[in-house]
Structure 1
Amino acid sequence: MNADGSLVRHADGRDRCWWPGTDPLYVAYHDTDWGVPERDDRALFEKLILDGFQAGLSWITILRKRPHFRAVFDGFEPERIVRWDEAKIADLMADPGIVRNRAKIEATIRGARAWLAIQERGSFSTFLWDFVDGTPVQPCLRTRAESPTKTPAAEKMAKALKAEGFGFCGPTIVYAFMQATGMTNDHLVGCFRHAECAALATPR
């Protein structure tokens, strides 16, 4: 670990951002998923919904539950989610494999409706990526202290998502979503993944 705790050197000799610690699942997520530019409409919907479920919890909690979420949330296919009824909601509320929060489940249904409405006008990916002009932001953060919890772009995106009907999408949640989906490359400069994700930052 460096002096300010921002980077951690692992047994493989690589320096990584501090936040995954040494949990194998979290490290794998950091190395292969977080910060990779995502432009698939359905995948973006899934990530946004899961970030909403994270509210009040740690991401590793959601990450451990993600496979089961995918199984019982109909693969995060909005076309299927909009047909959920009270019986489906009751089944989900009884399922310990997910985060059992009725407000978040109901927000998922509203989000699916909003996603479909946006798709009719174009694409969810375009809608989101327009907030960064279609190209990943490269802040070149060097320390943990420089990493923000929200930005003006996240605030604008959060406001737009709420206007469309999404829930649990405040600026902090939305910024975490932007980091996860590579809209901003927030791997620290000293992390080996920074340069790899930067190389993926091609314009739309």
Structure 2
Amino acid sequence: MDKFTKLTGIAAPMPLLNIDTDMIIPKNFLKTIKRSGLGVNLFDEMRYNLDGSEIESFVLNQPAYRKAEIIVAGDNFGCGSSREHAPWALLDFGIRCVISTSFADIFFNNCFKNGILPIVMPKDVVDALMKDAENGANARLTVDLEEQTVTAPDGTAYPFEVDAFKKHCLLNGLDDIGLTLEKAASIDAYEAKLAQSQPWA
């Protein structure tokens, strides 16, 4: 997966509470096992009318936010079912970071495994960043994973906490397969030793 080091991008405000995974990617799009192609259906029922036309009022349909890379969200983002398609859809759209006061646990962990940084911040900070995000294309936040800061357009830097292991994985672009491949030499050595000591295995 792609590394996450430092991101400066447009932030889209989504103050709605309890945005669940079915809202992020509705169940009828879960038939695929591909990680690509889901971005067009991200927030499908919120983005499109029944005839397929765009709902102009939805934030990601507005010109200023069509290329958003960050979402500033309401409380309890990613609740509901555990579908990994939710972070796949976000990533395929171009979202690399979601900032909220809280996340559902499974969604939170799935984000890290797919190259998305979910950041938990206090309500007053999220409220301030939400206000910044409402300024449209001028709402560019800088997320620095190494320094663990989110910098607002006015230069205010807000610190955030992140698990050291998850941080290491994102900085180095390591998903579960990548972590295993880091041990490839040790695995090969073990297999060679096993083949000698237990050739019947």
The answer, yes or no, to whether TM exceeds 0.5 is no
Q: Which has the higher helix share?
A: 1
* TM superposition score normalised by structure 2: 0.28
- Name the larger-Rg structure: 2
* TM superposition score normalised by structure 1: 0.27
| Larger RCO, structures 1/2 (Cα 8 Å, 6+ apart) | 1
Q: Which has the higher strand share?
A: 2
